[in-house]
Amino acid sequence: MFQVPKVLTTERLVLRRPSLSDASDIYEYACDSEVTLYMDWHIHTNIFQTNEFIERCIQRWKSGEEFSWAITLKPENRAIGVIACRVKEYAVDFGYVLNQSYWRKGYATEAASTIVLWASNLPGIYRVWATCDTENLASARVLEKSGLSREAMLRCYTIRPNISSLPRDTFVFAKVQSTPSGN
């Protein structure tokens, strides 16, 4: 088994477990149609949905199903986004969202790189991966700058409910380490 850090610190960020006190900060971007456009979850229409999201984050952490961190700027303790990952056997997948007031400043790349580094160093993990909509070129660039390579495009793979009820094409990015057998 492995230890999941409750806090990860970078040069400019602190990634920490989200709490219900983050609800208004998270709601600020979760109700933003530009921020949520390419997400695989519905835009939040009220703060109660945000509270439910945070409660799910807390429960999933306890169960080991998923680990979420609020992205905060030093020295503030205000949630400007969330990054989460799931550890399954030999692979870790992750995703993130960031308040658009903080776009184009390198924060998403800094947070994603931190998760990629942490996950890559877990014993028995050979694959760290993420997806993004094929039209979300900014997210594709973040994933590349975080050390992942684009592997494929999956046709009609993910529903982005804030765009359409039909599945959309999705890019897959990954960082793959050699297995002990050298494959």
Query: Is 182 part of any domain?
Result: no
**Mean pLDDT score, 5-23:** 97
Residue 137 burial (CB count, 10 A): 11
Cα separation of 155 and 37, whole Å? 19
Model pLDDT, residue 3: 87
Query: Is 16 part of any domain?
Result: yes
Q: Which domain holds residue 92?
A: 7-176
Residue written as tokens 């984050």?
A: 57
pLDDT in tens, 106-135: 999 999 999 999 999 999 999 999 999 999
Model pLDDT, residue 47: 98
pTM of the model: 0.95
Query: Is 123 part of any domain?
Result: yes
CA 163 to chain CA mean position, Å:
19
Cα separation of 69 and 81, whole Å? 9
Hey, what are 174's tokens?
A: 């990954």
pLDDT value at 26 more than 80? yes
pLDDT in tens, 159-180: 999 999 999 999 999 999 976 6
**Mean pLDDT for the chain overall:** 96
pLDDT in tens, 75-96: 999 999 999 999 999 999 999 9
> What's the CATH code of the domain at 89?
3.40.630.30
pLDDT value at 53 more than 90? yes
Model pLDDT, residue 2: 78
Query: Is 66 part of any domain?
Result: yes
Domains held by the chain: number: 1
* Phi, psi for residue 9 in degrees, rounded to 5: -120, 135
Query: Is 20 part of any domain?
Result: yes
Pair 54, 26: CB distance under 8 Å? yes
Model pLDDT, residue 183: 61
Query: Is 181 part of any domain?
Result: no
Alpha helices in the chain (DSSP H): 23-30, 33-36, 47-63, 107-120, 137-145
Query: Is 116 part of any domain?
Result: yes
